[in-house]
Amino acid sequence: MGDAGDDENRSTSGLNRWTVSIGLILCVVLAVNGYMAYLAFEGGPGLVVSDYYERGKSYAARTDPRYLSGKQNRAPGVISISSVEGENSFVRRVRLTAEEKLPVAEATLFLYRPSDASKDFSFPMKATQEGGYTAVVRFPVKGYWDLIVEINAGDKQGGILKYARRIEVTR
């Protein structure tokens, strides 16, 4: 009698419903993997610049933990951030000061966003009369930013001077 009940539960092709269910799940998994492989080949690598490798090495050198540590006050130069009054909350004044007067040269502020490289940008800084540098910057989004100031002082005055700090921009 048990055999007659099992025969009624089988489909006309002789397959058990568990076998059909496992087969369907396997087909769905293979179809999704095939679609992902298709997207990987059709979508391209996502690299937007031709010198991505050199830029990556440069970024790794600039964001060295020695430069981005919280002990920046002990360094010869200090990057300070302040809000600009009367502007929206994402505008900040960035100042670089040092114990000694910094050389008057071309200074660039590089702003890197660790979580979204598409927001990275650079900004020129102006020399101040006190021997430092300043810039007013509008951050596109809030969050963590790595700030690196490079002063191209030339070979006579010490080459390229770097100062860095990690900040959090909030409203």
Q: CA angle at residue 130 from 126 to 134, to 5 degrees?
A: 30
Determine the structural domain holding residue 30 and report its residue range.
Answer: 2-43
* 120 CB-contact burial (10 Å; exposed 0-12 / middle 13-18 / buried 19+): middle
The answer to whether residues 25 and 82 belong to one domain is no
Q: What's the pTM value of the predicted model, to 2 decimals?
A: 0.54
* 70 and 153 housed in the same domain: yes
32/98 same-domain check: no
Based on the domain organization, do 150 and 118 belong to the same domain?
Answer: yes
Domain-located, residue 139: yes
48 in a structural domain: no
Claim to verify: residue 23 and residue 91 sit in the same structural domain: no
- 33-79 pLDDT, tens digit per residue, is 999 999 888 776 665 556 666 766 666 666 666 555 444 333 356 77
pLDDT digits (tens, 9 = 90+) for 91-149: 888 888 877 777 778 888 888 887 777 888 888 999 888 888 889 888 888 888 888 88
Looking at the structure of the chain, the number of domains it has is 2
66 with 142, same domain: the answer is yes
Residues 87 and 151 in one domain: yes
Question: 18: buried, middle or exposed (CB in 10 Å: 19+, 13-18, 0-12)?
Answer: exposed
Based on the domain organization, do 18 and 74 belong to the same domain?
Answer: no
Q: Are residues 155 and 78 part of one domain?
A: yes
Is residue 25 helix, strand or coil? Answer: helix
Tokens of 114: 């660790």
Structural tokens at position 61: 């050198």
Q: Domain check: are 34 and 67 in the same one?
A: no
Pair (18, 93) in one structural domain: no
- Provide the token pair at 30: 């293979």
Are residues 79 and 20 part of one domain?
no
More confident residue, 84 or 12: 84
* CATH number, residue 165: 2.60.40.10
